[in-house]
Amino acid sequence: MNKYTLVKLIENFAPLKTQEEWDCSGWIVDNENILDVKKVMLALTINDDIVSQAEKKHCDMIISHHPLFEIPISYNNIQMYCAHTNLDKAQGGTTDTLIENLKLDIKTFKTIDFVRFVELKNRIDLNSLLKKVKKVSKNARFVNNKKIKSIKKIAVCAGSGSEFIKVAEEKGYDAFITGDLKYHTADASNIIVIDLGHFESETPVLKTIEKIIKNESVEITYAKQKSPFNYI
């Protein structure tokens, strides 16, 4: 398959023009002498190990969620493309995929930039919510400073979304689920905040990318990867 045709499928779903100004979504390595792609590796983040895996599996291209702001010369032997903040914002993108995996019983659903604001059909207790969270991330942690017991409205932002906690508070939400929380941010929160882990909150979107580009002419494989954090 022509690599530009393949990338167009992604950009139709998550237009590059919607990425943040600081972002580097798009082509990481684009060798104009190579047009056809037969085998693609999907990865959350590209590093030396992922490139080595792709080469061993004879992949023509790597598609990642995270961009590279510096590109080693040794990476120029394989095509690389990423969809980052544009995929985060896209309908059906990173956060929406996470919400699907949480299997929430949703009554209403609103989108504001990176954040999804969900109202449940029925109130649930904290333990019920945490059970759903645990199925997505075994490394999840939470803070409940105000001892909130009943949850009806939940804001969700995959990846690093702690900057939106105050917005959720102001809108009267009971809980905020994200993938990257700092100590002082969590300590100051007046609502339940749940930290899934950055890796754990965004990995599900690779399945979405597969659905977007899947066709008979391209073989898709997944990188073997895990969170960079080791747990004691």
- CATH number of the domain bearing residue 169: 3.40.1390.30
Residue 211 belongs to some domain of the structure:
no
Domain that holds residue 138: 94-201
- Distance CA(90)–CA(19), nearest Å, equals 10
Query: What is the dihedral sign for C-alpha 40, 41, 45, 50?
Result: negative
Residue 231: pLDDT band (50, 70, 90) is: confident
Assess whether 98 and 118 both reside in one domain.
Answer: yes
Assess whether 112 and 35 both reside in one domain.
Answer: no
Assess whether 81 and 109 both reside in one domain.
Answer: no
Does the pLDDT of residue 73 top 90, yes or no? no
The per-residue pLDDT for 216 is 84
| pLDDT tens column, 141-165 | 999 999 999 999 999 999 999 999 9
Q: Which of 52, 67, 86 is the last residue of a domain?
A: 86
Query: Residue type at 180?
Result: D
CA atoms within 13 A on the CB side of 108: 6
The per-residue pLDDT for 141 is 96
Q: What value does the mean pLDDT take over residues 88-109?
A: 97
Assess whether 183 and 101 both reside in one domain.
Answer: yes
Q: What value does the mean pLDDT take over residues 106-126?
A: 96
Assess whether 70 and 100 both reside in one domain.
Answer: no
Does the pLDDT of residue 118 top 90, yes or no? yes
Assess whether 140 and 182 both reside in one domain.
Answer: yes
Determine the Cα angle at 180 with ends 203 and 229, to 5°: 70
Strands 39-43 and 106-112: unpaired
- Where does residue 58 fall: left (phi above 0), alpha (psi -120 to 50 degrees), or beta otherwise? left
Residue 170 belongs to some domain of the structure:
yes
How many structural domains does the chain have? 2
Assess whether 118 and 190 both reside in one domain.
Answer: yes
Does the pLDDT of residue 83 top 90, yes or no? yes
Q: What value does the mean pLDDT take over residues 48-77?
A: 94
The per-residue pLDDT for 33 is 83
Residue 218 belongs to some domain of the structure:
no
Q: Which of 70, 86, 102 is the last residue of a domain?
A: 86
Query: For residue 232, how far is the Cα from the chain centroid?
Result: 25
The per-residue pLDDT for 76 is 84
Query: Residue type at 6?
Result: L
Determine the Cα angle at 90 with ends 229 and 169, to 5°: 70
| pLDDT tens column, 1-50 | 999 999 999 999 999 999 999 999 999 999 888 899 999 999 999 999 99
The token duo for 153 is 């409205």
Assess whether 75 and 119 both reside in one domain.
Answer: no
Q: Which of 86, 120, 146 is the last residue of a domain?
A: 86
| pLDDT higher at 230 or 21 | 21
- Distance CA(186)–CA(190), nearest Å, equals 9
pTM of the model: 0.94
Q: What value does the mean pLDDT take over residues 47-73?
A: 95
Q: What value does the mean pLDDT take over residues 107-127?
A: 96
Residue 223 belongs to some domain of the structure:
no
Assess whether 74 and 105 both reside in one domain.
Answer: no
| pLDDT tens column, 174-223 | 999 999 999 999 999 999 999 999 999 999 999 999 999 998 899 999 99
Residue 99 belongs to some domain of the structure:
yes
Assess whether 108 and 196 both reside in one domain.
Answer: yes
Assess whether 190 and 113 both reside in one domain.
Answer: yes
Assess whether 34 and 116 both reside in one domain.
Answer: no
